[in-house]
Structure 1
Amino acid sequence: MRSRTDPSQGRSPLSMSCLRTALMSLSLLFAATGHAQTSMCGSLASSYGPFDFRTDKDKLPIVTTAHFTPEVEALIRGTTSRLPGGDIAYTLRAIPNHHGALIAIVRLGEKEKTDKPHGSTFTVECWFDRAIRFRADDQLVRMIYADYLIKKQREADARAQLDVVKTLAADNAFTHHNLGLLLADLKDYDAALLHAHRAMALGLSHSALRDKLLAAGRWRDPVPAEASSAASAASQ
């Protein structure tokens, strides 16, 4: 196939200015079809990392010992500045799915009554966007995010995150237990009870979810016939 710019075809070649205009138009179209959020919340590229909080254990101490100290996590003070926001932000740039740092940035936003705490590069929600882009299968990130959304009274968005967690939960008893706690916060007590029974069937004896359902008057002990059906239903 000959190029439309082939002089042998008797056609005028495209000018460089036209080509640049066409490429710019394609770039704008690309940005408009779902990539605006990525741009708004920044690239995941980092001077150190990014590393996975769950698996890159040997890479984490150089960040956490210098930036995510107990004082920073407790929001008492920073290590590189007076306030902790900058150090939490550095931690999340290097380790986007650092569970403790995500919880800390949420708490700092609540403490300062702002969506973008002092020293934070991005808004609190952007840090969740980045963590999920980095590792979409991290169930705990999505549950921390769902808890944040519930507190913001964004029930539909919280449920969307929990729906993903349900597909990833498999036979993880702790995940089912924590899912049940969040569903109880949403007052979806039937679903919470289902995950409570599933966690029990998997051997988890924690009583927090049971106590929560008891306080709401919605606890019911599983019967033998329900055990297998709860296992199947919860996983779906």
Structure 2
Amino acid sequence: MDLQLTGTTALITGAASGIGRATARALAAEGVRVALLDRDAQALAETARGCTGAVIRVVDVTDEAQVVEAVSTSVEELGGLDAVVCCAGISGPVGSSIEEISLRDWNAVFAVNVTGAFLVLAHALPALRASASASVVLLASDSAFVASPGMVPYCASKAALVQLGRSLSVDLATTGIRVNTVAPSIVDTPMSRGDLGAQAFDSPPFNVQSPVEVAAHVLYLVSPRSRGINGTTILSDFGYSARSGFPA
């Protein structure tokens, strides 16, 4: 299928690794010129090797001044902006009960996972409004809908991200800017391996997706081919959340 993306532009946060890197490279392969944003300069440079003509911005998405500078200069260098994909995210405390979690750690998770997306989108909207077919995709998680023990901040932040996307789709309904979310279950990324341990992926007793598979969902939502899809979430969890707990 021709995704009709050739000649368009996109800005991707969290582009240094995992789903962000896979998305950036997949978009570039479809003829999209991309701006890559992340805190890790060395890893960003590695991502950019697979993205012809990529714009690189080393930025902390929780710092508004840095976001303003990165977004404005990226838009200027790209010559416009058709899509934003927010992949920047952290796990925060894993395996900790709520009384063991500090306010600092709680705030850090929301700062990256939710506030970072808010800041990027707030400052990217003027450029997106000028696009003939603009799309925003937020990377959430199935943890927005189901919960694992010891991951309260992460689960809560991903649920907030889903509702952020839904709310924005309503606010922006008359602008032509679509806002959707992708919520995958376990993805084989450096972050997941850090949380679960590398050995957990050797012969896992659970379904695992690759970043490339998740990026395919993102590309469809970015594409004009999905123009009727707005304010929704693609829950990519192998049907796990559809199962009843009824013992039959």
Would you tell me which structure has more strand in proportion to its own residues? 2
Would you tell me which structure has more helix in proportion to its own residues? 1
Specify the structure having the higher radius of gyration (Cα).
1
TM over 0.5: no
TM-score, normalized by length of structure 2? Answer: 0.24
TM-score, normalized by length of structure 1? Answer: 0.25
